[in-house]
Amino acid sequence: MNGASDMLALVVDVVTPLTPAIKAFVLRSANGEPLPPFAPGAHLGVQVVQANGRTGQRAYSLARPHDGSGRCEIAVLCEPQGAGGSAWMHALQPGASLAAHAPRNDFALHAGSAPPLLLAGGIGITPLLCMARSLAAEDRPFEFVYATRSEEATAYLNEVRALGGTVVHDGGDPARGLDLRALLAAPTPGRHLHVCGPRGMVQAVVETARALGWPDDHVHFELFAGAIEQAGDAAFEVHTLRSGKTLAVPPGQSLLDVLIAAGLDPLYDCRQGDCGVCVVDVVEGVPDHRDHNLSPREKADGKTLCTCVSRAKTPHLVLDI
Amino acid sequence: MTIDLQGLVQPDRVHKRVYTDPAIFELEMDRVFGQVWIYIGHESQVPKPGDYFTTRLGREPVMMVRHADGQVHVMFNRCPHKGAKLVPDGSGSAGKFLRCLYHGWTFKCDGSLLSVPLRSGYECTALDLKDPQYGVRKVARVATHRGFVFASLSADGPKLKEFLGGVATSLDNFCDRAPEGEVEVAGGVQRVIQRNNWKIFFENLHDTIHAVATHESSWRAAKEEHEAMPASTPKPFEVVIVDGNGEPLEFWEKLELKGYDHGHGFMEGIFVPPTDPVSLAYVASLEAAKGAKRAEEILRVNRHNTIVYPSCSPHTSFQQIRVIRPLSVDRTLVEIFSFRLKGAPEATFQRTLKYTNIVNSPSSNVMPDDLEAYNRVQEGLGSNGGDWVSMHRAAGRDQPLPGGRGSNGNSEMPSRNMFAAWAGYMGVDTGVKTNEHAGSAK
């Protein structure tokens, strides 16, 4: 799936500043062919060049439903303290070439039998905007709520309002944010919740939903890489074999936290690489061991890894969990 | 040291040493408590994965823990690393795994080793972390009957159902009395450390004729209290359960006692099913769930104390289990657990608590009478004023039953029955042909 075979050659068509920190990019296929089909919630794995000169991969959700053409739209938040991938994106001019993995979808829309609830935080708007646009085009009802820091920091403000969405600004103070209990309310059969945003928000939404009795299979979420990147740490992708998830581990966020946020319920204890409780089996990929638990031989074997501190030397890890 | 036990148990009397000799107590720990099925607790005491409950199995500190897959395990409460008890005494939740407080070794809730810190330090040493000896050791056998968990330190012996024999019906009736057919431990536990040998407590459970003498102060006070009420006042529940001890000896004579193999037995109910509103509401809830005919069948099984020798005494009609844990030859821990009948009105459970508090609590007006008697027996037996303890009353008049024997309510058959089992476990020749024992005979 991730080999060169699914790589797309793309060209930047239009760049539109949406806020001082966010730009929208319309990309088109270099050969003019239609893009492979994708459903709302899908993302593009774009190859970027980081400040250290190494290439990396960034997952950017597609903001507009597939229209059968060779064009698609993403939006990128520039993170000056990151590893440089988003800054590289922001420097792109129309006509620039770039490569990306074909769209993948880990955050599918579940329209269900009741109007779905779409919840976005910050740059997490992109997949939900795509869902809302798709539902509106089919004239299907939905609830759409979008939380941002301020009006100036709000991408797609008019689009969301035009789609009937509610926009809330919390000024950076979560206490002024969404009343999740009121918003989510009691679960009703067929009403699916979709949320994308910063980790804290996604966690709060998922926990509130659980507390209110929402069944897990009615709650869908995706994290975007909003964390501060550590120098030298690259993002990587992890595939969990037994639970069948593919997750992005951004710089600055531990693999363990990504597993927890994805609802995998892993075992862990010390969170500092001492106790060994979080050790899992590695099926594919090379671990970057940073723990004090595994023996030198176990580290050399590379068949196990402490999820709380260790990362990956390869872009992709497959874990037996 | 070889201990000569021969001659200590006779068909109608026992030597005082069986209650007072510390060496015999140690042998009991091996030959009785180290072999037979011992009541550990009820599954409802560990409702969720990670929940634990600690107790003693003979000399051994053990814990009952529910694993992630829902299965309940009974294991030694001992870390295989340095030996520390893994969980504190009592009950609680360990979370997703057990972590020793001493060096942080961790174990899954089925006892298997999860992880140790500084794994690299064990590289190329004789300690193989995959060796099962570095998991928490499980007891030899665990089995449940209607949610009641029993364990045995011996890999051999009868299956639980066979061991329980005629008293399995008491545990069945305990649960059948719930409209939903299940019970759960509720309301905490009362703990009493008695200053007496454990067998004295067991014998008293079916000793009917002590009541009128030992409990005179409380039953007489209860009677007088009721007499002082206006003439037609129905007898309050609190009075019923206390003044019953004042029934004349001919009342007890008419009751039936049953003794079964392995020392078990039960006493027929001493309280006539009451007709007050609380009882009637409970009966209605049972009839609604099971139908009038089945409810009547269930309630017709009306028993006072049941003995599951040598570890517990269920009271089926007031939903209580007393758990007996010998601590030393003259110290015995008795723990009193109350149960809620699932699906019954809340007032039924309040009545259970009332029975526990008024009759069996160490701060009631009844139990302290017994505690005083037990302690006097223990101290008297320690003297040189005599060697034998009598069990003669109605000896030779027992009626054979399938798997046991029956007698009238004033017989000392239950004591003889328990000692026959005890002698079998301990390897004591009682001078009676084996097939006349109610104990280990087959």
Task: Write the CB contacts of B415 (distance below 8 Å, at least 6 apart in sequence).
Answer: B203, B206, B207, B391
Exposure b/e, A11-41, CB count within 10 A at least 16 = b: bbbebeebbebbbbbbbbbeeeeebeebbbb
**Interchain CB distance below 8 Å, A293 and B106:** no
Question: What does each of the 321 residues of chain A score in pLDDT, given as a tens digit?
Answer: 444 568 899 999 999 999 999 999 999 999 999 999 999 999 998 999 888 888 887 889 999 999 999 999 999 999 887 778 899 999 999 999 999 989 988 789 998 889 999 999 999 999 999 999 999 999 999 999 999 999 999 999 999 999 999 999 988 776 677 889 999 988 988 999 999 987 668 778 877 887 898 887 788 887 654 333 334 578 899 999 999 999 999 988 999 999 999 999 999 999 988 899 999 999 998 888 888 888 877 887 889 999 999 999 888 899 999
Question: Shortest Cα distance from B120 to chain A (angstroms)?
Answer: 4
Q: Which pair of tokens denotes residue B63?
A: 């814990």
**Interchain CB distance below 8 Å, A275 and B120:** no
Exposure b/e, B96-122, CB count within 10 A at least 16 = b: bbbbbeeebbbbbbbbebbbbbebbee
Q: Where in chain B is the domain with CATH 2.102.10.10?
A: 38-145
Q: Is B114 on the interface with A (CB under 8 A)?
A: yes
For residue B368, the surrounding DSSP H or E stretch is helix B367-381
**Interchain CB distance below 8 Å, B106 and A275:** yes
Q: Is B96 on the interface with A (CB under 8 A)?
A: yes
CB pairs under 8 A between A and B: 44
Angstrom distance (rounded) from CA A102 to CA A5 = 9
List the single residue in A277, A292, A295 with the smallest CB-CB distance to B115: A277
Q: Is B112 on the interface with A (CB under 8 A)?
A: no
Nearest by Cα to B138 from B107, B106, B103: B107
Nearest by Cα to B142 from B51, B74, B64: B74
Q: Can you tell me the ipTM of this complex?
A: 0.71
Exposure b/e, A115-133, CB count within 10 A at least 16 = b: bbbbbbbbbbbbbbbbbbb
Q: Where in chain B is the domain with CATH 3.90.380.10?
A: 165-436
Question: Shortest Cα distance from B96 to chain A (angstroms)?
Answer: 7
pLDDT at A125: 95
Give me the residue label for tokens 């799936």.
A1
Angstrom distance (rounded) from CA B331 to CA A159 = 79
Angstrom distance (rounded) from CA B325 to CA B189 = 14
Question: Shortest Cα distance from A202 to chain B (angstroms)?
Answer: 24
Nearest by Cα to A273 from A314, A307, A250: A307
Cis peptide before B310 (omega within 30 of 0): yes
Chain B residues with CB-CB distance to A274 below 8 A: 104, 117-118
Strands B320-328 and B312-315: antiparallel
Domain boundaries of chain A, sorted by first residue: 4-104, 117-223, 236-319
φ/ψ of A26, rounded to 5, equals -95, 125
Supply the Cα-derived Rg of chain B in whole angstroms. 23
pLDDT at B80: 96
**Mean pLDDT for each 10-residue chunk of chain B (442 residues)?**
83 96 97 98 98 97 97 98 96 96 96 91 85 95 98 97 97 98 95 97 95 92 93 89 88 92 91 82 96 95 95 96 98 98 97 93 92 97 96 94 92 96 92 49 35
List the single residue in A267, A270, A292 with the smallest CB-CB distance to B96: A267
Give me the half-sphere count of Cα atoms (radius 13 Å) on the Cβ side of residue A127. Answer: 32
**Is the domain defined by B165-436 classed in CATH 3.90.380.10?**
yes
List the single residue in A275, A296, A297 with the smallest CB-CB distance to B115: A275
**Interchain CB distance below 8 Å, B114 and A267:** yes
Angle at the Cα of B274 from the Cα atoms of B269 and B277, rounded to 5 degrees: 150
pLDDT at A2: 43
Nearest by Cα to B415 from B200, B226, B247, B228: B200
Q: Is B388 on the interface with A (CB under 8 A)?
A: no
Nearest by Cα to A312 from A286, A276, A278: A286
Angstrom distance (rounded) from CA A199 to CA A222 = 9
Residue A71, CA distances (Å) to A33, A35, A107, B291 in order: 9, 7, 21, 71
Contact A64, A72 (CB under 8 A): yes
Q: For residue B87, what is the DSSP state? A: S
Task: Name the CATH architecture for the domain at B38-145.
Answer: 3-layer Sandwich (2.102)
CATH code matching the domain that covers A117-223, chosen among 1.10.10.10, 3.40.50.80, 3.30.1490.20, 1.20.1340.10: 3.40.50.80
Chain A residues with CB-CB distance to B104 below 8 A: 269-270, 274-275
Residue B6, CA distances (Å) to B2, B17, B390, B430, B434 in order: 12, 12, 17, 8, 15
Q: Which residue of B has its CA nearest to A278?
A: B115
For residue B23, the surrounding DSSP H or E stretch is helix B22-31
Angstrom distance (rounded) from CA A104 to CA B332 = 68
Q: Which residue of A has its CA nearest to B114?
A: A277
Question: Shortest Cα distance from A298 to chain B (angstroms)?
Answer: 9
List the single residue in B96, B119, B123 with the smallest CB-CB distance to A276: B119
Angstrom distance (rounded) from CA A303 to CA A300 = 8
Positive or negative, the CA dihedral A168, A210, A106, A273 is positive
Angle at the Cα of A105 from the Cα atoms of A99 and A107, rounded to 5 degrees: 135
**Is the domain defined by A4-104 classed in CATH 1.10.510.10?**
no
Beta pairing partners, A169: A148
Nearest by Cα to A199 from A226, A234, A237: A226
φ/ψ of B301, rounded to 5, equals -80, 90
Nearest by Cα to B34 from B2, B57, B55, B61: B57
pLDDT at A84: 85
Q: Which residue of A has its CA nearest to B123?
A: A295
pLDDT at B145: 98
Q: Helices in chain A by DSSP H: which ranges? A: 85-90, 125-137, 157-162, 180-184, 199-211, 255-261, 296-301
Angstrom distance (rounded) from CA A37 to CA A67 = 9
Domain A236-319 carries which CATH code? 3.10.20.30
